């Protein structure tokens, strides 16, 4: 059974996988990265104490970081002497290694749907929603750069297709149901949060009522709010 929303319990003990949960947990990531925030949401929801090391993957990286992430992305997690990269592996590890509210459904169909949502986001959602719509409309101006309108137009078209599919999955109700908080929520929420910071993103989401309802519920969750990357204020 998955945890219900708004549970925030902090208990650490060695678990069935033989993991020493008392070992220090460190998340290496970039404060504005959605994938970094996915991992942080899982850590917060499980109540895991951790420290962060800031790594900006868009600058020249310290070669030592490539030992943690040979593909030069963020995030990477260390727990004692163990290290792991790829966000979906990190979030599963967090859920399996630590006590606290479970983030994976027991039901086989719900678990498969959760994995499907994560796959959809990684393969079809991240680029148009975050790198094309959010980055161009919101982040580029923050850095004093002009938005590329062609990228935004292309990103919106691709995003609408992704949102339509996710709306159908939310409507089915196995995951993204506003009741059982799973890794599907952790992986999707940071992407949608950035997407709706663009006016076009907000308008696009409003066409998908079940997903919009899901977003209204998750956007007030402590795990999302306490991991807000706090972009500088700007007029958009
Ligand atoms: N497959 C990776 C993707 C991580 C990823 O793309 N992270 C972005 C930041 S949100 C990054 O490091 N980008 C650097 C780049 O594109 O060079 C994961 O799931 O962890």
Query: How many A from CA of 72 to the centre of ligand 1?
Result: 8
Segment 153-179 shows an average pLDDT of: 98
Across the chain, mean pLDDT equals 92
How would residue 12 be classed by pLDDT, with cut points 50, 70 and 90? very low
Is 41 among the domain residues? yes
Q: On the CB side of 8, how many CA atoms lie within 13 Å of its CA?
A: 10
> Considering only CA atoms, which residue is closest to atom 11 of ligand 1?
73
The first and second tokens of residue 149, run together, are: 């309108």
| Domains identified in the chain, total number | 2
Rg (CA), the chain: 17
Residue ranges lining ligand 1, Cβ < 6 Å: 33-35, 57-58, 73-74, 86-88
Distance CA 39, CA 22 (A): 18
Q: Which segment of 1-5, 156-160, 229-233 scores lowest on mean pLDDT?
A: 1-5
Which of 97, 130, 150 terminates a domain? The answer is: 97
User: CA separation (Å) from 76 to 15, 70, 122, 182?
Assistant: 22, 10, 16, 21
- Residue 190 belongs to domain spanning: 108-225
pTM score: 0.91
Q: On the CB side of 62, how many CA atoms lie within 13 Å of its CA?
A: 11
Sign of CA dihedral 40, 116, 167, 206: positive
Three-state SS at 154 = helix
The first and second tokens of residue 20, run together, are: 């020493």
Which of 77, 97, 117 terminates a domain? The answer is: 97
Query: How many A from CA of 120 to the centre of ligand 1?
Result: 15
């Amino acid at each position: 059974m998955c945890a219900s929303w708004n549970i925030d319990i902090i208990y650490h003990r060695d678990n069935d996988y033989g993991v020493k949960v008392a070992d220090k947990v460190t998340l290496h990531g970039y404060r504005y990265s959605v994938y970094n925030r996915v991992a942080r949401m899982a850590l917060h929801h499980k109540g895991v104490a951790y420290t962060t090391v800031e790594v900006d993957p868009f600058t020249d990286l310290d070669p030592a970081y490539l030992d943690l992430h040979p593909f030069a992305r963020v995030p990477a997690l260390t727990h004692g002497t163990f290290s792991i990269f790829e966000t979906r592996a990190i979030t599963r590890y967090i859920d399996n290694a630590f006590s606290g509210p479970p983030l994976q459904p027991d039901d086989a169909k719900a678990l498969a749907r959760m994995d499907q949502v994560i796959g959809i986001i990684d393969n079809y959602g991240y680029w148009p929603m975050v790198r094309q719509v959010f980055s161009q409309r919101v982040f580029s101006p923050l850095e004093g750069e002009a938005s590329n309108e062609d990228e935004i137009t292309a990103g919106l078209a691709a995003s609408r297709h992704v949102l339509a599919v996710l709306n159908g999955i939310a409507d089915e109700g196995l995951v993204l149901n506003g009741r059982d908080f799973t890794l599907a929520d952790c992986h999707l929420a940071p992407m949608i949060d950035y997407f709706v910071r663009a006016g076009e993103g907000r308008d696009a989401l409003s066409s998908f009522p079940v997903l919009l309802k899901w977003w209204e519920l998750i956007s007030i969750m402590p795990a999302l709010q306490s991991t807000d990357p706090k972009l500088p204020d700007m007029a958009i």
